[in-house]
Structure formats: C-alpha cells, structure tokens
Structure 1
Amino acid sequence: MRALLVRDLRLALRAGGGFGLGLAFFLIVVVLVPFSVGPQPELLGRIAAGVLWLAALLACLLSLDRILALDFEDGTLDVLATAPLPLEAALSVKALAHWLTTGVPLVVAAPVLAVLLNLPVAGYGGLVLSLLLGTPALSVIGTFGAALTVGIKRGGLLLSLLVLPLYVPTLIFGAEAARRSAAGLDAATPLLMLAGISAGVLALMPFASAAVLRVNLR
C-alpha cells in the first residue's frame, strides 16, 4: 500500500493534474470574486466562507478524472483488480493520494486567500477545520465517480454531473461551519455533521467504488 501511495503521489505531481492545477484554479476563483461583486469589504466578508468552500470544491473536481484514467490506459487497474491487495484498499490509497495532492494544498492556501475576501479573523480557524474535515469526503466521493466513469471517452463532464449532487451536503455543512465561525457563533453542530459525513463516506464508499470498478473492468 505504501508503494502504491508513493507511486500515485509521483504520478500526480508529474502529470500536473493534481497539485498545480487545483491550486491555480482555487487562486483564480478567489481573485476574480472581488472583481465581480465589487470592492465592498462588508459584502466580501459575508460571502467569503461560501466562496472559499465552493472554490475548493470545484478545484477538487478538476483533477478527479485523473485518479484512475492513467492507470486504466496503461493497464495498471487490471493488475490491481487481480492483485492480493483488496481493490477497496487500493482505491482508498488512490483517494488518499488525491487528497494529499489536492485537498491539503487547498487547506493550506485557504487562510492566505481568505485575506483577499476580507474574511473576519475569527473565521480562519473554522475555515481550516471545516476544510480538513470535509475535503477527504470530496476525494473519496470523487474516486467513486472516477470508478463509475472509467473507460468512458471524454467522461469528464459526466463525472462532474454525477459527483456534484453528492458533494452538496459537504458543501452546505462546510460553508455553514466557516460562516458561523466568522460570525463568532458556535460552529460545533455543522462541524460534527461534516465529520459524520466524512466518516460515513470513508467507511462505505470504497466498497461501492470497488464494486462499480469491477463491473467496468469486465
């Protein structure tokens, strides 16, 4: 499993579809928001939590098709399907690699970019914590979508359409937690809901991903 994780991390960094692309998209979206709504600090402060979470979600979405596409093209998926390592574990490792190369950089960059949107200082901790709790779910759900559409030519748009509805609960509770923290309110409830979603997804989704991938590889 460690060798598979290291391999996927190297592929993600070399292929340019993980770390750089997601982070650049995150930066562009956040920078463009003040131009679209105007330089109004109060307005930017109110919408900052939602904008940052939406930008992070879309940034994660950009690299989902690369989770399994390269392995499908070179035949690695067929090897993994017949290897002693359970396919569920292999897909969990791939989701972890996606999170490390996409989710973690977004978590690190979010407080810096929050300055551009005039997010209140009180909301920084809630924003980072909500992203730490929520982005793993985005990667695991994205891996399920990638397994569902693997082998389909130009399946990126279909992947987005399938995954986006599954992202909605994470987006709602993540943005609400960051918003409550910025307003000085108690954010425990949305954070607990977000943690519950991530825990449930991490426990169940690898089995669903493995099942649909086995069907697609037949």
Structure 2
Amino acid sequence: MNAPMSTAPGLFGAAAALILRDLRLLWRRRGDAAQPALFALLVVVLFALGLGGEPQALAKVAAAVLWVAVLLAGLLSLDTLFRGDAEDGSLEQWILAPVPLAWLVAVRVLTHWATTALPLVLVTPLLGELLHLPRAQLPILLVSLLLGTPLLSLLGAVVAALTVGMRRSGILVALLALPLYVPILVFGAGSVAASAQGLDAGGALLLLGAGLVLALVLAPLTAAAAIRIALN
C-alpha cells in the first residue's frame, strides 16, 4: 500500500494562507487601515502650517518631517500586530502549526509593512511637494525609507510580541519602541541631510541596510520566543 500523502502545508503555502487571511481582515477594516496614511498627512500639514508655509523653511526640514511622519504613523498599528490573534486564539494555532513560528511572524511583519509603511513610501513624492522638498533629495529619501521602514516593522514586531500578553499596552508599546526607532530616524534623515550638503550618503544607507539584514535574521526569532513566553 502507498503511504498516505501528507496534507501539512509547506512554508510558502502557510505564508500564502496567512497573507490571504490578513488581507481579508484588512479589507473588512478599511477605515482602520487608512489611519496611518491620514495621520502622516496630518503631521505634514501641521508642520507646514506651523512653519508658516514658507518654502525655504519647509525645504530645510522636509526630509526630517517626512521621516517623523512615517515613524509615528507606524506606531499607530503596532499594538495590533499580534493582539487580534492573541484574543481569538490564533497565536496558539501558530505555535501548533507544522511550520516554524518565526516564519509566520516574518510573514505577518511583511504584510504589516506592505499595508502600512509601503503606501506611505509610495505617496512620499506627493507629501514632499507639500513640504517643498527639493527634488534632488527625493531619490535618497525614498531609498532610506525603503531600507528603514522594514527595519522599523521588524523591531516593532519584537516590542509587540513582548507586550502581547498585556492589556491596554498601546502607550507602553510606543515607549518601548521609540528608543529603538531613534537610530533609524537619525541615519534615515541624516542620509538625506548629508546628500543635501554635498556629502556622501552611502555610509548611513549602508548602516540601514546592515541593520535590516541583521533584523531579518534575528527579529522573527526573537519575536517568536517572546510570543511563546507570553502565551505560557
């Protein structure tokens, strides 16, 4: 007799199922999904009004303001990264799944980044026009955001996993995540500032890239360990 075929999903099958589930839930909460983008737009508008709308004054701080807007917008959805799964029992199923927990965490972080940070990166040219960002600085800004925002999501996932067992931990998540986010903000905005001054921005971008590679390896493993501890 032939041995029964295994019906356990592989890594990519489990990833596809999780991404599809997350996208369906996101579509049901379309209003909540738009909050990060609206918050970033609000931050940009407030900075523009606060500086009086002077093009020269706005151009000097445009890159830093856009980085701060993206960073703060990412904090809005950070607390909900794993909380919904913890409340409906999905995290327990993740632990019992025939695929590594760290892999599922990495897939969740990828979905979170693609649905919250990536749209902000795509509309950065439009937000830059509102702040009179010099167009010569836009390529460096986009590269720094494409390297820095996944790193923000990965570090945020570790913080969210550490606090997933706590109730009403929104402020705590922000307090724990902000110190980790500051170096990314410094190198991200600093690369644009260096480019504006005619200096080489490659060093800051390389540091962001190195941090991203390191976080891609360690952050899912750390977050998975934190989830196991929180659920025990």
Q: What band does the TM-score fall into relative to the shorter chain?
A: over 0.9
Q: Write the distance in 1 (CA, Å) between the matches of 2:47 and 2:27.
A: 28
* Structure 1 residue 189, shift from structure 2 partner: 1.1
1:115 and 2:129 correspond: yes
Cα RMSD for the two superposed structures: 1.4
Q: Which residue does 1:152 correspond to in 2?
A: 166
1:133 & 1:190 partners in 2: Cα distance?
A: 11
Task: Count matched residues.
Answer: 218
8 Å contact kept, 1:140–1:201: yes
| 1:28 corresponds to | 42
Q: Deviations over 1:185-205 (max 9, x none)?
A: 321111111111111111111
Q: Which residue of 2 aligns with 1:178?
A: 192
* Gap regions ≥5 residues in structure 2: 1-14
Aligned equivalents of 2:226, 2:207: Cα separation in 1: 27
Matches within 5 A, 1:70-149: 70-149=84-163
Q: Distance in 1 between matches of 2:41 and 2:196?
A: 21
Residues 17 and 63, structure 1, Cα contact 8 Å, conserved in 2: no
1:161 matched to 2:175: yes
> Which amino acid is the alignment partner of residue 79 of structure 2?
D
**2:21 pairs with 1:10:** no
Label 1:53 to 1:18 Cα distance change in 2 as closer, same or farther (>3 A). farther
Q: Is the 8 A contact 1:5 1:97 kept in 2?
A: yes
User: Cα deviation per residue 1:126-179 (whole Å; 9 max; x = unaligned)?
Assistant: 111111111001111111111111131111111111111111111111111122
Distance across 1 between alignment mates of 2:140 and 2:68: 15
Q: How far off its partner does 1:182 sit?
A: 3.8
Counterpart among 205, 219, 222 of residue 191 in structure 1: 205
Aligned partners of 1:195 and 1:18: how far apart in 2? 30
2: CA distance between counterparts of 1:125 and 1:18?
30
Q: Write the distance in 1 (CA, Å) between the matches of 2:63 and 2:170.
A: 27
How far is 1:3 from its partner?
A: 0.9
Secondary structure of the residue aligned to 1:153 is coil
Moved more, 38-47 or 107-116: 38-47
Gaps of 5+ in 1: none
Secondary structure of residue in 2 paired with 1:122: helix
Percent sequence identity is: 48
Q: Shift of the alpha carbon at 1:65?
A: 1.1
Q: TM-score scaled by structure 2?
A: 0.90
Cα deviation for residue 10 of structure 1 reads 2.5
